[in-house]
Structure 1
């Protein structure tokens, strides 16, 4: 012991304490003796006073690793950390590399939901290269759980930018495309008529610049092949001025319709349209606006936040263009006339929308009216219907609508 203390080349190791018989003694390094006075050592600190913690997550230099600890504070204000569970670490790793996963078919729904939310929190579905492929894996494995109700009301920018992602959503029961100005030849309308969306029950196409030719394309698979929108129960075609009495004949193929809205369309002979709809698909004209056509559609499913992220990114990309107003003002000051782009307005003005009558239909149940009343209404309809040559020609054309050459050309495209 003394040799060790008096060694010349021995570095300074600080104070040395010796415990004997339950008492603590401090060894004097200079004299080599033992100080009998019991001295209490200073309390040791795990961290220095100026110690600070910084959570370094999702940085480029961490080689894909994230923080594996959870930092919390106790009631006394002390910092406490605990390790994450192995399940959360594995879930985070798979969510970061979801584009490398081959398939999720066979995984439980509980794990799939947690994995989807973890990938959505990391914005893996918004990446331009791998986002669509990652989203497709969840849709193939879980179907309607990813998205069951899709509301794209007045979101034509999202439709134009994320059309392929929107088309990948299958097993939808409700689709709201109101105020999107799609027109008759839009790719999304063609996708709706395919067999992949045969589960649609509610379809809202309010104010979409549709005409009779658009209805003919939509109803061609149902009229000829009995496929497509055969399970449709609620259909909103209001405020499409291009739909006339000729387009009503294409709607008669939807035998499962319970509610139909044709308000604000170009139908001139309302009485003939009401009689045909009531006689062939058993829909009764409603004098009071129906609550089924109120805007109560809301996106439901795991991908609800994903749609909000898409819309937020698209709006952020458009925001810099608004800063060009000052430049346009400068051009106006120097005599230059900038090109102004006015927003597209609907062919129907607000005054016309207020003055146009309500043209909504619903299906009466057996409990609402008795059989004698039904017989009486059918007899009144038969008396009101005039056996004119025009109605006979219309009935003949509706019977042979599935045999037109234009319809077969459309069906060959599917």
Structure 2
């Protein structure tokens, strides 16, 4: 009645046909019929109708049509129903598409930032060559270890070479696994380990990386002199690096907080002297059994960017696949046994260097243990006297060694320190 009275009213503007939806059907109300709704059904979308929405018409030449502003579903009656997305979803999608152009994310709530990172990750924004690096830096600068707290790059030397700048953008990592990557002493990533951005690393795995004494000298120079760099390091794996000798082990004595050390497979000349030296200076004891800290089972990539690292690796593997034209030819050659399979050449075999010469060399720091039984007074007094003498000698030795440390710096050490 209200509709008919409005239609009969004089002076109203002609708004065109009016549609009314009842029980899944759409009817048109015609003013010429005296206000009575027509019973003629009207289908808004004919059968076989395809939907194509062109949003932001002013940018049609620069970007493809957007169709993600609406959600299309079908009802039980078979009718097409569409509804607009929430304003938050639309804004989130727009910012994620242009996150590399954002000035800064510092101050934004972590919950919103995580959703924004996931939206950009779903659009594979971080896989883009230039814009991906800028976008990733916006998050790492603002949220640090929330983006990534642990990074496992074991046997992923191709990923390191392709995404080196992206890997260097991660900050406040606590665990970094670079095992079996053959980096060498001159690699840029090893130099980056001494920067302030990675001073939070507590677990560093450098197994089978072709390191030598020169690489350890560079890696420990900030800690030895400036008291910066890897000063919080607790676990260090240097196994399967045969070019590390007794001289290189001396550089590790600056890691006072070190709790576990693995130098199995190193090129040591006097193993017993090294064992005594480590126990005397930093309190590391030789372990008779393998330590669980070096089994690599608990090391994995953790953080918001966990799927991003997988996207990088998948993109590299896709680029390494042979072209379609060459597959038939290579398959025929494989059948006749004339060539080796590419997969066998690409995969890096984990080199396990024989450690028979140096033996099993893993060290750990014992916890302070209380004396289980009461001692006699005379024995206790004698132990106290011996301990006092040992403390006095130890203090003298520390002063002597500290003076020697300042005097034994070479010209190469000072040149290296001037680079920081």
Q: TM-score, normalised by structure 2?
A: 0.75
Where do residues 6-155 of structure 1 align in structure 2 (5 Å cutoff)? 18=33, 41-53=39-51, 65-155=66-156
Match of residue 17 from structure 2: none
Q: Distance in 1 between matches of 2:222 and 2:269?
A: 27
The answer to whether 1:181 aligns with 2:187 is no
Q: Distance in 2 between matches of 1:57 and 1:124?
A: 21
Do the aligned partners of 1:220 and 1:402 also contact (CA within 8 Å) in 2? no
CA offset digits 1:23-58 (Å, max 9, x no partner): x79xxxxxxxxxxxxxx9454333323334468899
The answer to whether 1:316 aligns with 2:318 is yes
Q: How far is the alpha carbon of 1:79 from its aligned partner?
A: 3.2
Do the aligned partners of 1:236 and 1:260 also contact (CA within 8 Å) in 2? yes
Do the aligned partners of 1:207 and 1:240 also contact (CA within 8 Å) in 2? yes
Unaligned runs of 5+ in 1: 1-14, 26-39, 380-394
Q: 3-state SS of the aligned residue for 2:217?
A: helix
Q: 3-state SS of the aligned residue for 1:362?
A: strand
Q: How far is the alpha carbon of 1:358 from its aligned partner?
A: 1.7
Q: How far is the alpha carbon of 1:287 from its aligned partner?
A: 0.6
Match of residue 172 from structure 2: 171
Q: How far is the alpha carbon of 1:199 from its aligned partner?
A: 0.6
Q: How far is the alpha carbon of 1:274 from its aligned partner?
A: 0.9
Match of residue 414 from structure 2: 408
Match of residue 305 from structure 1: 307
CA offset digits 1:318-344 (Å, max 9, x no partner): 213797587689999xxx999x99679
Distance of aligned partners of 1:344 and 1:186 in 2 relative to their CA distance in 1, 3 Å threshold: farther
Q: How far is the alpha carbon of 1:186 from its aligned partner?
A: 0.6
Match of residue 239 from structure 1: 240
Q: Distance in 1 between matches of 2:360 and 2:233?
A: 21
Which piece of structure 1 moves more, 111-120 or 55-64? 55-64
Q: Distance in 1 between matches of 2:74 and 2:183?
A: 54
Q: How far is the alpha carbon of 1:357 from its aligned partner?
A: 2.9
Distance of aligned partners of 1:364 and 1:306 in 2 relative to their CA distance in 1, 3 Å threshold: same
Match of residue 214 from structure 1: 215
Unaligned runs of 5+ in 2: 1-29, 376-381, 387-400
Q: Distance in 2 between matches of 1:63 and 1:44?
A: 32
Do the aligned partners of 2:53 and 2:65 also contact (CA within 8 Å) in 1? no
Q: How far is the alpha carbon of 1:231 from its aligned partner?
A: 0.5
Q: Distance in 1 between matches of 2:156 and 2:232?
A: 26
Q: Distance in 2 between matches of 1:275 and 1:323?
A: 62
Q: 3-state SS of the aligned residue for 2:265?
A: coil
Where do residues 287-302 of structure 1 align in structure 2 (5 Å cutoff)? 287-295=288-296, 296-302=298-304
Distance of aligned partners of 1:195 and 1:17 in 2 relative to their CA distance in 1, 3 Å threshold: closer
Q: Distance in 1 between matches of 2:371 and 2:327?
A: 62
Where do residues 386-401 of structure 1 align in structure 2 (5 Å cutoff)? 399=405
Q: 3-state SS of the aligned residue for 2:112?
A: helix
Q: 3-state SS of the aligned residue for 1:71?
A: strand
Distance of aligned partners of 1:350 and 1:215 in 2 relative to their CA distance in 1, 3 Å threshold: closer
Q: TM-score, normalised by structure 1?
A: 0.76
Q: How far is the alpha carbon of 1:132 from its aligned partner?
A: 1.0
Q: 3-state SS of the aligned residue for 2:322?
A: helix
Q: Distance in 2 between matches of 1:243 and 1:301?
A: 33
Q: 3-state SS of the aligned residue for 2:42?
A: coil
Q: How far is the alpha carbon of 1:63 from its aligned partner?
A: 5.4
Q: Distance in 1 between matches of 2:357 and 2:116?
A: 51
Q: 3-state SS of the aligned residue for 1:352?
A: coil
The answer to whether 1:162 aligns with 2:163 is yes
CA offset digits 1:186-236 (Å, max 9, x no partner): 111011012221111000001101111111111111111111111000000
Q: Distance in 2 between matches of 1:60 and 1:126?
A: 24
Distance of aligned partners of 1:349 and 1:228 in 2 relative to their CA distance in 1, 3 Å threshold: closer
Aligned residues: 361
